[in-house]
Amino acid sequence: MAESTNLTTSIKNPSFEAPTLNDGAFTLTPPTSWNIFDSFGFIPQNPTSTSSKLNAYNPTKSNYLGEAPNGQNVGSINLIQNPNVATVGLAQLFDTVIQSNTQYTLSVDIGNPAGSSNGIDLTGFPGYRVLLLAGDEIVAIDNNSLNIEEGKFATSSVTFTAADGESFIGKNLGVRLINALTGEGKQVDFDDVRLRASTVIASAVKDNQTLYGSSGNTTLNGSLGNDILFGNGLSTNLFSRDGNDQVFGASKS
């Protein structure tokens, strides 16, 4: 069995319990120790209860019968803009530094709130993304793969394996939890961010690799040199990195 270590202690406020809130209450600022990722400026400088906002929220029984999956609060992103390519996220770089021959698994509960919050109708779901980061680069994605019913949470997991020679060794792991604003609905909630590491024997990263995806949730990292990547499936993520890489995207056949 591979040795598995719980690294959740390297995440600050992983369950969004700070600050403490009464049932139904929310902040107008990000949960403690979380940052706003908002490259298109969808969150106003001074959010109000009816503007777009990214906050800590103590959901009620009308949002989720079981309320928050862990503790009392969730991290919440509510966007009032129309569906758009722009996205907004809760972001944090962890204290965990990437080591070689290690597989990192980040899990987070994703919620589709029912009912309303402060008069805002929460019917529908705008979609989500979970991005695992090495420094400021994306190394794994869950791009809205879960089908989450109204009033329910589901758990998303993403993994990244760092091999010998990987350019990300020594960088900090991090996450962006995104409201994808892709459809009907305004709000996505997040709770209970967990991080585990397992020791693995990974094939060392070499120059000029040829890598093949499968039809599952595959992530291919080209890293060094002039690589050739073949997606071979709809849910394959391709990261070409350094060098003059050739990337062949996912096909349906």
3-state secondary structure of 159: strand
Identify which range of 22-30, 36-44, 169-177, 225-233 contacts Ca ion by CB under 5 A.
22-30
What strand order describes the sheet that includes 172-179?
35-37, 88-97, 172-179, 128-134, 137-142
Identify which range of 46-54, 66-74, 97-105, 176-184 contacts Ca ion by CB under 5 A.
66-74
Identify which range of 27-35, 77-85, 95-103, 180-188 contacts Ca ion by CB under 5 A.
180-188
Using the rule CB under 5 A, is 112 a contact of Ca ion?
Answer: yes
Task: Please identify which residue in 67, 182, 199, 202 interacts with Ca ion, judged by CB under 5 A.
Answer: 67
Q: How far is the CB of 64 from Ca ion (least distance, A)?
A: 8
Using the rule CB under 5 A, is 117 a contact of Ca ion?
Answer: no
CB atoms under 10 Å from CB of 61, counted, come to: 13
Q: Which CB, 166 or 192, lies closer to Ca ion?
A: 192
Nearest by Cα to 226 from 209, 249, 248, 247: 209
Interface mask toward Ca ion for 2-21; x: CB under 5 A: -------------xx-----
Nearest by Cα to 90 from 118, 129, 140, 148: 129
The set of residues, in sequence order, having a beta carbon less than 8 Å from that of 73 and lying 6+ positions away, is: 15, 16, 17, 21, 31, 56, 57, 58, 191
Q: How far is the CB of 217 from Ca ion (least distance, A)?
A: 25
Q: How far is the CB of 166 from Ca ion (least distance, A)?
A: 32
Nearest by Cα to 140 from 206, 195, 75, 74: 195
Using the rule CB under 5 A, is 197 a contact of Ca ion?
Answer: no
Using the rule CB under 5 A, is 71 a contact of Ca ion?
Answer: yes
Q: Which residues 203-232 are close enough to bind Ca ion by CB under 5 A? A: none
Q: How far apart are CA 189 and CA 28, in angstroms?
A: 15
Using the rule CB under 5 A, is 154 a contact of Ca ion?
Answer: no
Task: Please identify which residue in 27, 55, 58, 217 interacts with Ca ion, judged by CB under 5 A.
Answer: 58
Task: Please identify which residue in 191, 193, 195, 221 interacts with Ca ion, judged by CB under 5 A.
Answer: 191
Task: Please identify which residue in 68, 162, 163, 195 interacts with Ca ion, judged by CB under 5 A.
Answer: 68
Three-state SS string over 82-128 comes to CCCCCCEEEEEEEEEECCCCEEEEEEEEEEECCCEECCEECCCCCCE
For Ca ion, the binding residues (CB under 5 A) are 15-16, 23, 58, 67-68, 70-71, 73, 112, 122, 125, 185, 191
